[in-house]
Amino acid sequence: MLKVKALTFNPAQENTYILFNEQNKAIIIDPGCYFSAEHETLNSFLKDTQLEPARLLNTHCHLDHVCGNLWVYQNWGTELWIPSGEEEVLANAPLWGEKWGMSFKNYDGPVHFIHEGDTIVLDNDTLKVILAPGHSPASMCFYAEKEKFLIGGDVLFYQSIGRTDLPGGDHETLLRSIREQLFVLPDDVVVYPGHGRPTTIGYEKRNNPFL
C-alpha cells in the first residue's frame, strides 16, 4: 500500500512527492528542492522515516520540477526516469532557470524513458502511467489505482489547469488530455498536483471553470 508525502519547494512553490510502502522503499517524484535548506528537509524526512529511495521520476521536465534531480542522484544513486518526449525540455531546463533567477546544474547521470501505458513497480505496488500532454509536450501522470490517487504534475489543479504558454504547451491539447485521460477515472480519485492543494476528479468535473 503506497502512502504519499508532499513537500513544497523552491520559489515556484512546487510540490515534490515521496511515495513509500511498508518495505520502506520510496519513489521520489519531481524533486524541486533548490535551496540547501530544502535539501535538508527532504533528507531529514527520508532519514526520520527510514526510507530508501528506489526510483526517481519526473512527470515532466520544467525547471521547477527537475532542479533537485542531480542532488537526489548524487545522494542515493537513483537514476532518472522521464517521459519519452521530454528530452529537449530537460536539456533546456537550466536555460530557463537562468531566465527565471533559478540557476542550477542539470542532472548528468543515466536517463531512462517512461512510455504511455507503462507500469511503474515498487515491490508489490504499482503506478499506471497516463500520457496527458498540453502543459508540456509529453506530460505524464502516475495513477495508483488500488489507493485511488493520481500524481498529476501540472495538468490539473484545484479549480484550475496547467499553463500552456511555455514552449510545447497547447491549450486545446491540455483540455483534451484532462477530459479523455483523467476525467474517465473514478470521481473519488485524489489528485495530487504539482502546485497547490489536492483535489479530486469528481470535484473538478463539477467545479473547474476551465472545463
Q: Give per-residue pLDDT as tens, 136-195.
A: 999 999 999 999 999 999 999 999 999 999 989 999 999 999 999 999 999 999 999 999
Residue among 91, 39, 31, 19 at smallest CA distance from 67: 31
Model confidence over 49-107: pLDDT tens digits? 999 999 999 999 999 999 999 999 999 999 999 999 999 999 999 999 999 999 999 99
> Domains in the chain and their CATH numbers?
3-207 (3.60.15.10)
Do 10 and 38 touch, CB atoms closer than 8 A? yes
Per-residue confidence (pLDDT) for residue 43, from 0 to 100 = 98
Do 79 and 114 touch, CB atoms closer than 8 A? no
Residue among 85, 90, 67 at smallest CA distance from 16: 67
pTM: 0.97
Residue among 33, 120, 115, 108 at smallest CA distance from 82: 115
Per-residue confidence (pLDDT) for residue 184, from 0 to 100 = 98
Give the pLDDT band (50/70/90) at residue 128.
Answer: very high
Give the pLDDT band (50/70/90) at residue 9.
Answer: very high
Q: Which helix (H) or strand (E) holds 117?
A: none
Do 87 and 106 touch, CB atoms closer than 8 A? no
List the strands of the sheet with 25-29, edge to edge. 3-9, 14-20, 25-29, 52-57, 80-83, 111-114
Give the up-direction half-sphere exposure of residue 150: CA atoms within 13 A in the CB hemisphere.
29
